[in-house]
Amino acid sequence: MLNIHVIGDHPALTLAAEELQRCLAQMAGAQAQIAPAEGFTGAPGIWLGIADTLADAVELPEVADPLWDDAFCIRSVEGALVIAGSNPRSVLMGVYEYLRQLGAEWTVPGDAGEVLPEIAEVPLGGFDLERRPPNRHRGVCIEGAPSLRHVLDMVEWMPRVGYNAYFLQFQVAGYFWRLWYEHRLNPEWSETRELSEEECEELDRTVIAEVKRRGMILHQVGHGWTAAALGLPTDGWVTYDGEIAEEDRALIAEVGGKRELWGGIPINTELCYSNPLARQKMLDGVIEWAQAHPDVDALHFWLSDAPNNHCECAGCSEHSPADWYALLANELSARLAEAAPRMKIVLLAYHDLLWPPETVEIDRSHDNLISMFAPISRCYAHSMDDPECDSGEPLVRPARNAMTMPRQNRQLAELWRIWGWGDRANSFCFDYHFMWPFMGDLLSINLATLMPKDIADYEAMELGGLMNCGSQRTFYPTGWPYWETARLLCGEPAGAADRERYFRLAFGDGYETAIAFLNGIAAVSGAPRHGAEWWQQVAPGKAGALREYLDAWAPKLDAAASAADEAQRHAWALLQHFRELAGHFAAAQDHLESGRTGEAVAEIEAAEEFVRRTESRTAPALESYTLLRYLAGLKARWAETGARKQP
Ligand SMILES: [Zn+2]
Ligand SMILES: [Zn+2]
């Protein structure tokens, strides 16, 4: 009988012991019992605990802030194995790393991704590992259309591969939950239902409990504070067409002589920040919410989600939008330090706020500010700090409400540097690889080769990590880019040998076929390609060759898939699915380039039908909602272009 000694009662420590027990039983048939302990005695078995409690056994290098910084060691000491971490979450990560050393892996979230190979015995000797991820911030943010299962699988997977923070957007994440449960873009989906506000809150609470159970960092909110100040809906990009009282209307930004909701959407609307009542209502709302949600570690304080909508009244015109933001942030920082001393505020450089303040300095004296760079308009063909991604145009501060979102990475990176916010401990990038770009992976971009460069670039820009803002389901055609991202953020290698290992675990013996197929697509499609527009999945002139390539691979993939073991068949099925979907894109673009708009649109309709019909099989790996929206956008654009070309 193997003893797993656990010092401490944090749920992440209990979970670490249970996971160890479960996986070792499956891998080695080992019977292990979990034994709570007061302190290290040197008894045989595996010891789990945070570093202080195991100081008699092992020494762990100090971290700047044990709540935020992860470090763990796995050491053999005279008949025992010690896994100690800087915090309970790190102990859990240490357990997963130990299992990885024994051959385990979690290629994607959920049972389908768990690989637990058989081993002869549980080795306790010969371990001397220490890990300290160089990036404090390694997060995933809810977006797209997830079910509760999808998010819980994601949260479970995150510490297995090294992510440490989860972000539930808005005061309640109902917008995203409803996209899945209402399932409006796929009429063939049989289980649809509407969610009440209470049900959405309950879904959030379930997620938060699992995040906290793992000792992970919880981020919340973001946009919506401007809407809250007006007493209007805060949860997502929903329109409001009810009455607005005159005293509330006076708080709304005046743009073009009118004080109106921006596009009818409260969260896209700015306030008249020179109006003290507007500022007070907004900040009171934040403080009140923070006090009611003490579990939150990082509270995102963002302005609206639209550019060029700032107040043009005489009072507001005295400061730039970012100066008003800095004034608000300084007041909030001081007030929150009193109201919720442990909580951090996350500020956002985005839209008009990509341009830093001109006169107001951000006051960091309360030690509760994190800054976040969100380059939403960036190029994904080049890495974030690539000087080659440049239009050559000089960077000129735009007039109020005349901002053009920079498409070139050089300009965006320069704006971040002008802000002067770089601070590896207290800043990170909020990036969108897994939101829309992933749909063009291997066709117009190449995530597998981009991610290592981007993560190195974040460091060069003094950003302390990444929050993935995107779908919870972008493990398509493989989970390598998402897995690779986690490992790179942890400072772990993710090179060719690691990719080969990953593919071997995901695809089994025929893995080289899978690698060759994917590498070949990128070679034929010409990805990555700078300047590709959103409707160009494949580089001009390449669609014909890509069609031929994909057709030629069909029998090879079919053969490899039918030879695969049951456990790997799902991974092959996704690859076959991707071959077919990419075929629709290539055919559509081929038609379009030859002036056959009608056929191009019909091809996209075939793709839509294919995605809807197969959704029940692909759902955990592929976000159909975002994809179907994209396809609808393509169709609308091409139909319009075709109509214009008619005499
Ligand atoms: Zn104003
Ligand atoms: Zn570029």
Residues 421-463 have pLDDT tens digits of: 889 999 999 999 999 999 999 999 999 999 999 999 999 999 9
Name all contacts of 636-639 with Cβ < 8 Å and 24+ positions apart. Answer: 637/535, 638/535, 638/588, 638/592, 638/597, 638/600, 638/601, 638/604, 639/597, 639/601
Ligand 2 center to 410 CA (angstroms): 9
Q: Which residue has the tokens 């995605």?
A: 611
Question: Which residues partner with 346 through β-bridges?
Answer: 300, 370
For residue 65, which of 94, 92, 87 has the smallest C-alpha distance? Answer: 87
Ligand 2 center to 521 CA (angstroms): 20
Among all bound ligands, the one having the nearest atom to the CA of 390 is 2
Ligand 2 center to 65 CA (angstroms): 37
Average pLDDT, the chain: 96
Helix (H) or strand (E) holding 138: strand 137-141
Does domain 2-131 correspond to CATH entry 3.40.50.1000? Answer: no
pLDDT of 396 over the 90 cut: yes
Ligand 1 center to 370 CA (angstroms): 27
Ligand 1 center to 546 CA (angstroms): 54
Residue 248's pLDDT is 97
Residue 385's pLDDT is 98
pLDDT of 354 over the 50 cut: yes
Same CATH fold assignment for domains 2-131 and 143-493: no
ipTM greater than cut 0.95: yes
Ligand 2 center to 221 CA (angstroms): 31
Ligand 2 center to 454 CA (angstroms): 12
Ligand 2 center to 389 CA (angstroms): 4
Question: Which residues partner with 220 through β-bridges?
Answer: 168, 299
Among all bound ligands, the one having the nearest atom to the CA of 388 is 2
d(CA 505, CA 517) in angstroms, rounded, equals 17
C-alpha angle with apex 191: 188 to 196, nearest 5 degrees?
A: 125
Domain ranges of the chain: 2-131, 143-493, 506-645
Ligand 1 center to 263 CA (angstroms): 18
Give the burial string for 138-161 (b: 16+ CB within 10 Å, else e): bbbbbbbbbbbebbbbbbbbbbbb
**371 Rama class: left (phi>0) / alpha (psi -120 to 50) / beta:** beta
Residues of the chain above pLDDT 70, percent: 99
Contact present, 224 and 171 (Cβ < 8 Å): yes
Ligand 1 center to 361 CA (angstroms): 21
Ligand 1 center to 276 CA (angstroms): 10
Residue 643's pLDDT is 63
Residue 422's pLDDT is 85
| Tally of CA atoms within 13 A in the half-sphere of 625 that contains its CB | 20
Among all bound ligands, the one having the nearest atom to the CA of 375 is 2
DSSP per residue, 516-555: HHHHHHHHHHT-S-TT--TT-SS-TT-HHHHHHHHHHHHH
Ligand 1 center to 313 CA (angstroms): 4
Upstream peptide bond of 477 is cis (omega within 30 degrees of 0): yes
Sheet architecture: strand order including 32-37: 32-37, 2-7, 45-50, 80-85, 72-77, 128-131
Among all bound ligands, the one having the nearest atom to the CA of 277 is 1
Structure tokens at 282: 């907004």
Contact present, 213 and 274 (Cβ < 8 Å): no
- DSSP letter, residue 577: H
Among all bound ligands, the one having the nearest atom to the CA of 255 is 1
Q: How far is CA 399 from the centre of its chain?
A: 32
d(CA 103, CA 81) in angstroms, rounded, equals 17
143-493: which CATH topology?
Answer: TIM Barrel (3.20.20)
The 10s digit of each residue's pLDDT in 185-237 is 998 898 999 999 999 999 999 999 999 999 999 999 999 999 999 999 999 99
